[in-house]
Amino acid sequence: MRDYDSLLFVSFGGPERPEDVMPFLENVTRGRNVPRERLLAVAEHYHHMGGKSPINEQNRTLISALERDFRAHGVELPIYFGNRNWSPFLKDALLQMRADGRQRALAFITSAYSSYSGCRQYLEDIERARAEVDGAPSVEALRRFFNHPAFIDACVARAQAAWQELGSELGAARSQARIVFTAHSIPQSMARSCDYEQQLRANARLIAERLAHPDWDLVWQSRSGPPEVPWLEPDILDHLRGLHARGVPSVLIAPIGFLTDHVEVLYDLDEEARQLCRELGMPMRRAATVGTHPRFVEMIRCLVLERSRGVTPLGVGPAPPPPVVCSAHCCPRPERPAAKPPGTGGAH
């Protein structure tokens, strides 16, 4: 472990007070032309949850579990916590790392899949924060981990628990249920420049096979962009209506695109999707995210050992493990659509 002296835990961030909700959302969407009405609608999701996001608390709990795991396995790396979009910011973490004399850090990014917003944008924000801190430590990001066997094991365990709950309610009728895997939608232009959708589809297939259930779909949620920009579809709510129209009697929703039960999971699935299923008379169970599952915690340690000790990267399914070090051209920024001249329609 001589080559690295710390681990930087990097996440998205979220407000922890009601008065921070709108400033946080404005920070996240700056420069993206997201309509004000959409920001206000999303702000209501946070206020419905008490005016805060649980993501920071969940990440701190995961960091504590990881610190215990490191100690138990002789990994002597202190862990620092920095967010892209809200306190504690990346810059604050780097300032503390510099004060503590850290010089060469690894970074765990809380995103399993490859996309601009889940990979390259984090790398850009880390370098932007480093540029603001004289003498900041070097930071090398760990790889994406969508098909690491320990991550798949944790996803399967969460889905299996919800599947058993559905079986306790429905008995043999569970065999007619549909498994609906969800992930955050992204613009189609972004999806074309990365393997995000393919990686999620491969994982959905692996998990469904482990559950021995052939009837599944991959759908999307939490769209946030301007209405004129095409995003991945179908949306979870539209899909549930379609399943009901086809006579599907019940569903298991597994949010495999998310690592923690934060607002987008709690509101979009536990509130909106659950209410719709109730109205449709369609029993539903929602699988938990991996959170602090022991296999997920173990996986983070494995990623550290891959880089620090040259351990062979692991992967399951049709795709090889992602590169240990991202190429300079992976997950490029998607092209923005050309602005429409006044009077040609579209959102303004």
Rounded to whole angstroms, the maximal C-alpha distance in the chain is: 65
Q: Is the pLDDT of residue 186 over 70?
A: yes
Structure tokens at 305: 């050992």
Look at residues 147, 198, 229 and name the one whose alpha carbon lies nearest to residue 331. 198
Provide the pLDDT for residue 337.
54
- pLDDT tens-digit readout, 315-344: 999 999 999 998 888 899 887 654 333 332
* Angular region, 301: left φ>0, alpha ψ -120 to 50, beta rest: alpha
For CA atoms 81, 82, 88, 93, give the dihedral sign: positive
Please tell me the least confidently modeled range out of 8-22, 33-47, 110-124.
33-47
Provide the pLDDT for residue 31.
78
- pLDDT tens-digit readout, 211-265: 999 999 999 999 987 788 999 999 999 999 999 999 999 999 999 999 999 999 9
> Which DSSP category does 340 fall into?
P
Provide the pLDDT for residue 345.
32
Instruction: Please check whether the two domains, 6-146+295-309 and 149-286, share a CATH topology.
Output: yes
Provide the pLDDT for residue 336.
67
In angstroms, rounded to a whole number, what is the distance separating the alpha carbons of residues 65 and 148? 19
Residue reference for tokens 């959170």: 291
Cis preceding-peptide flag for 234 (omega within 30 of 0): yes
Q: Is the pLDDT of residue 268 over 80?
A: yes
Please tell me the least confidently modeled range out of 27-31, 175-179, 278-282.
27-31
- DSSP of 264-277: HHHHIIIIIIHHHH
- What average pLDDT does the segment 165-183 reach? 96
- pLDDT tens-digit readout, 136-161: 999 999 999 999 999 999 999 999 99
In the chain, domain spans: 6-146+295-309, 149-286
Provide the pLDDT for residue 342.
32
Burial 178-217 (b: 16+ CB within 10 A, else e): bbbbbbbbbbebbbebbbbbebbebbbbbbbeebebeebb
CATH assignment of 149-286, among 3.30.450.40, 3.40.50.1400, 3.40.50.720, 3.10.25.10:
3.40.50.1400
Report phi then psi at 9, rounded to 5. -90, 115
- pLDDT tens-digit readout, 53-70: 999 999 999 999 999 999
Class of domain 6-146+295-309: alpha beta
Provide the pLDDT for residue 168.
96
